[in-house]
Amino acid sequence: MKRLFFSLFLLVLFSDCFTQKREISIKDYYSDAEFFFLAEDYSDALHDYFEIYNRGYNENANINYKIGVCYLNIPGQKEKSIEYLLKASEKVSDKYSGISSNEQNSPKDVFLYLGNAYRIIEELDKAVEMYNKFIDLTDKQNVEEKTYALKQIEACKIAREYINNPREMELVNLGKIINTSTSEHNCVVSGDGTTMVFMRKLPFYEAVFMSKKRGKNWSRPVNITSQIMSDGDQYVTGLSFDGTRLLLTKIDEFDSDIYQSEYLKGQWSKSKPISKSINGRFWESHASFSKGGDTIYFTSNRKGGYGEMDIYYSNKQENGNWSEPVNLGPNINTDLNEDAPFITSDGQSLYFSSQGHMNIGGYDYFVSHYSDTGWQLAENLKYPLSTTDEDLFFFPYSNGAQAYIQKILSDGQGIWDLYFVDLEKEPEIKELAEKIEDIEEGEDVGTDEVERIDTVIKIEIKPILFDFDNYILTDQAKQEIIKYIQLLKSNEKINLIIIGHTDALGPAEYNKKLSERRANTVSDYIISKGISSERIKAEGRGEEQFVAVNINPDGTDNPVGRKYNRRVEFDIKDETGEIIIKRISNIPDSFRIQKK
């Protein structure tokens, strides 16, 4: 009897809970969503807006608008915003208020956000179209809004030039020891390259981690959040050259200040405010030390600057206090925002992020060099370092020859991953172009690095790989293809043969078509960057030409080997149609098909 009573009690209890959940009104969900939206907590806001969307509001322009804006502010999901913003743009009204769940329309700002969304995914013509629509709908009195839209149109123009003429660099993911399925960011490294401190997103808070380099590898990171006594509200911004002083920003609802922690006897100390002369009643965000630790560079929105957030410096005095901050001037600071300043160890170059200068959208990476006349006009580090999205936290190493950065790439471990960038490695395409010139002049290119057979050079290099049953280009694949675009632009006498392949799973006829789609996808991407279609030929070989094993000797599947077969390769022909360079996939020996 007691068991029956208890069962009935649970049934009533849960029924009451379910009833309460059903009784949550549209008005209540909208109120909660607006609270999170205004607090810039876009993930929670998105959840509540979707509760409304799924209750018959999927055609509502206001709800679609709010969902689109939320997606546009969530890293790794920004492309999803376009679907909802386009729906919202069908019903724009000058009388939009958005304060009530009864709102049926969207504001003219929807075109501004659509412009940003298209800019981020590099559909620049569509972005400009949306910015112009916004300008046409904007009152003449709203000079600030029009100025912003015009700035974005100019950014799209610069982006076209940078994307079509990318810089050479080597981008290396720091691997699974450092990067996880969540996000890693704000990476700083000591001058000797042996200590790394960075942020990692954990459930419910942002954690500070440290890793030590053992030989060539980084050790498993240690969570030091409790050592500095952070409540998940402190963020890494700088590390002294000797790796013993850590700079952080502590953020609450009203302020952001610079804090410092010291490494003593194998432990980081509780972080403390660095100085009253640096921390004021304004917002101080990123900060970093000079090599000697006697100068600090930081960003602040204090009065007297050129824009909202400017970069300042302060020197350490004999009494241990920091001097009154000095603005770095108009060659570095603009009427928009600057952030994340890092000085190189020789003191001659300042790397930072900026929304101003020659910008291609969002924050871009910039550098300013010091001379006898002071800091020179900042230069954009260009594509693909700077992108049409937000690029923050470029940590220079070896006086800027290398760097540590955070990127969102489709083939990363999580959302943000940490990468090592080598900016002075001998450009591979430059070497290749020089070899082509040597062939054209009849010179011997040598056999130390390549194998020459008559007039054909065979070079081993990373292939462009595809996921199973897929022909979509990853970000890494696009960066590899950019090298061929550079090569074609540097020598108009050469043409490209694009050859698609598949693994052995699936019907042969289907695989033939899939391999053609892969080749055509690469071809379309190259043509979209300004290369004539007459210089490109795409073809698919299906599953006919394996370079790696598909099946193990015991008859079991070999998924790693099949990965190397899902590829696109290239042949380069001269103006007579003869193949002069044949690029071969660099397959590990354990998976390579051995020729008899």
Q: What are the C-alpha distances in Å from 66 to residues 61, 77, 113, 362, 444?
A: 9, 14, 11, 20, 63
Do 32 and 122 belong to one domain? Answer: yes
Give the domain CATH number at 115: 1.25.40.10
Do 469 and 375 belong to one domain? Answer: no
Q: What is the pLDDT of residues 41-85, one digit of tens each?
A: 999 999 999 999 999 999 999 999 999 999 999 998 999 999 999
Rounded Cα distance, 406 and 187, in Å: 8
Give the domain CATH number at 465: 3.30.1330.60
Residue 384 has pLDDT above 50, yes or no: yes
Residue with tokens 């911004």: 237
Do 140 and 181 belong to one domain? Answer: no
pLDDT band at 477 (very low <50, low <70, confident <90, very high): confident
* Residue 4 located in a structural domain: no
Q: Phi, psi (5° rounding) for residue 498?
A: -105, 120
Question: Residue range 549-575: average pLDDT?
Answer: 83
Comparing 224 with 569, which gets the higher pLDDT? 224
Question: Residue range 435-440: average pLDDT?
Answer: 54
Most confident region among 18-22, 76-80, 393-397 by mean pLDDT: 393-397
Say how many domains are in the chain: 3
Lowest mean pLDDT among 122-126, 275-279, 583-587: 583-587
Rounded Cα distance, 18 and 513, in Å: 51
Rounded Cα distance, 556 and 562, in Å: 12
Q: Contact 299/312 with Cβ under 8 angstroms? A: yes
The predicted pLDDT at position 442 comes to: 44
Question: Residue range 482-502: average pLDDT?
Answer: 85
Rounded Cα distance, 178 and 172, in Å: 12
Question: Residue range 33-39: average pLDDT?
Answer: 94
* Residue 149 located in a structural domain: yes
Do 503 and 391 belong to one domain? Answer: no
Do 566 and 468 belong to one domain? Answer: yes
Q: Output the CA torsion sign for 545, 547, 552, 558.
A: negative
Q: What is the pLDDT of residues 404-434, one digit of tens each?
A: 999 998 778 889 999 999 987 655 555 555 5
Last residue of a domain, one of 164, 185, 218: 164
The predicted pLDDT at position 438 comes to: 55
**What integer best gives the mean pLDDT of the chain?**
86
Q: Contact 421/170 with Cβ under 8 angstroms? A: yes
Last residue of a domain, one of 142, 164, 186: 164
Do 451 and 397 belong to one domain? Answer: no
Q: What is the pLDDT of residues 88-123, one digit of tens each?
A: 999 999 999 988 999 999 999 999 999 999 999 999
The structure tokens listed for 274 are 């660095």
Q: Contact 517/542 with Cβ under 8 angstroms? A: no
* Residue 314 located in a structural domain: yes
The predicted pLDDT at position 478 comes to: 82
The predicted pLDDT at position 28 comes to: 94
The predicted pLDDT at position 591 comes to: 63
Residue 252 has pLDDT above 80, yes or no: no
Do 404 and 434 belong to one domain? Answer: no
Residue 12 has pLDDT above 50, yes or no: no
Do 439 and 395 belong to one domain? Answer: no
10 Å CB burial of residue 433 (0-12, 13-18, 19+) is: middle
Q: What are the C-alpha distances in Å from 218 to residues 191, 212, 243, 408, 495?
A: 15, 6, 15, 21, 43
**What's the domain range around 29?**
24-164
Do 185 and 151 belong to one domain? Answer: no
Give the domain CATH number at 281: 2.120.10.30
* Residue 574 located in a structural domain: yes
Comparing 254 with 302, which gets the higher pLDDT? 302
Q: What are the C-alpha distances in Å from 339 to residues 181, 366, 369, 542, 548?
A: 27, 10, 17, 49, 47
Q: Give every CB contact of residue 161 below 8 A, 6+ residues apart in sequence.
A: none
Q: Give every CB contact of residue 224 below 8 A, 6+ residues apart in sequence.
A: 197, 208, 209, 210, 268
Strands 310-315 and 295-300, by their bridges, are: antiparallel
Do 265 and 387 belong to one domain? Answer: yes
Rounded Cα distance, 568 and 463, in Å: 7
Express as a percent the part of the chain with pLDDT over 70. 87
434 membership: H or E segment, kind and range: helix 428-440
* Residue 282 located in a structural domain: yes
Do 296 and 403 belong to one domain? Answer: yes
Last residue of a domain, one of 394, 422, 450: 422
The predicted pLDDT at position 427 comes to: 52
Do 465 and 399 belong to one domain? Answer: no
Rounded Cα distance, 249 and 268, in Å: 16
* Residue 595 located in a structural domain: no
Task: Output DSSP code: residue 78.
Answer: G
Q: Phi, psi (5° rounding) for residue 425?
A: -65, 140
Supply the DSSP string of 196-255, one letter for each residue. Answer: EEEEEEETTEEEEEEEEEETTEEPPPEE-TTTTT--S-EEEEEE-TTS-EEEEEEE-SS-
pLDDT band at 443 (very low <50, low <70, confident <90, very high): very low
Residue 13 has pLDDT above 70, yes or no: no
The predicted pLDDT at position 137 comes to: 92
Q: What is the pLDDT of residues 270-328, one digit of tens each?
A: 999 999 999 988 999 999 999 999 999 999 999 999 999 999 999 999 888 999 999 99
Long-range contacts of 450-456 (CB under 8 A, 24+ apart): 455/578, 455/580, 456/579, 456/580, 456/581, 456/582
Question: Residue range 212-230: average pLDDT?
Answer: 94
Q: What is the pLDDT of residues 353-364, one digit of tens each?
A: 999 999 999 999
Q: Which of 283, 294, 384 is nearest to 338 (CA)?
A: 283
Residue 169 CB coordination number (10 Å): 18
* Residue 253 located in a structural domain: yes
Q: Contact 257/250 with Cβ under 8 angstroms? A: yes
* Residue 556 located in a structural domain: yes
Buried b (16+ CB within 10 A) or exposed e, 195-225: bbbbbbbeeeebbbbbbeeeeeebeebeebb
